[in-house]
Amino acid sequence: MIDINVCGTFIATQAALKHMNDCGRIINIGSCVGERIMMPGLVPYSATKGAIKMFTQGLSREAGSRGITVNNHPAGSNRHRSESCSGRLGSTAKGKHSAQSLQAR
């Protein structure tokens, strides 16, 4: 699980950044389970998705100087990140992100 969810994301992102123009976009696949463990037995999965969340936040600060936006999208959800685990629907219309927008300022 670590090889696929964490190492795979890191290696693919590293390769993409070498070829990405300024003002590009990276969207990582996260999960609200990465913020809290929802069921017994999900500890390893939760840990890897938590790692992706932190990787996304760190990368956004590094890539922001190139104008690259980095987002963490909760898989299987069109809900806004802050509402993705609460059951309330968010909006993706009119420029609102369905992902956690982490563009560095």
Which residue in this structure is represented by tokens 């104008």?
67
Q: Which of 27, 45, 47, 103 is catalytic?
A: 45
59 contact partners, CB below 8 Å, separation of at least 6: 13, 26, 70
Known catalytic residue at 8: no
Phi and psi at 81, nearest 5°, equal -50, -45
Tell me the catalytic residues: 45
